[in-house]
Amino acid sequence: MTTNSCPYEKIYPSALEKNAEYFMAHAYNLAIDAWNADEVPIGAVLVYEEEIISSAFNQTRMQTDPTAHAEMIAITMGAKKLGDWRLNNCSLYVTKEPCPMCSGATIASRIGKVFFGLEDPKMGCLGGAASLHLLEKSNHKPSVTGGILSELSTKILQDFFKLHRRMDQPISQ
């Protein structure tokens, strides 16, 4: 584990207005937990009927599992909680645009809406580098909204990687 704790403070949004910023703040708080666990700071929450039913942060290093992305863990936990692999009426909030694997999982699980913070033009597959959700022959096309609390998500990721480059501890995602 890193000796450098996350320099950012958690956000405590009011539950009076459960909007995209409210749920993304919870995902952001999980990104802080990821940093403190020496993981790439990405957090995700899965929402059903305006309640968070599952949440996770990246755990690829902790689990020595390249598929242990925040989105994958939150989707798996949410499906188990609902007792169904179809998550049509769920919304996923994640601090960074999902990669090809996580984008595919959102489509395969039939998630209705995906919200993300930081756009990823290199590996994001919900509008950044590619648009898997817009494949012509796909039978499921979730609605996608980016840019929610993007400044916070951008800053925490950039600073995490700057710190690890200085410490000469290569971390890649």
State how far the Cα of 164 lies from the Cα of 6, in Å rounded to an integer.
12
State the residue for tokens 């598929």: 67
Maximum C-alpha span of the chain? 48
Distance CA 5, CA 20 (A): 27
What gap in Å lies between CA 31 and CA 128, rounded to an integer?
20
**Catalytic choice (39, 71, 97, 119):** 71
Catalytic annotation on 71?
yes
What's the CA gap between 63 and 70, in Å, rounded?
12
Whole-angstrom Cα distance, residue 115 to residue 59?
21
Pull the structure tokens for residue 10: 């958690």
CA distance 12 to 150: 17
- How far apart are the C-alpha atoms of 80 and 155, rounded to whole Å? 33
Q: Nearest to residue 101, comparing CAs of 75, 78, 76, 67?
A: 67
Q: Which residues are catalytic, by number?
A: 71
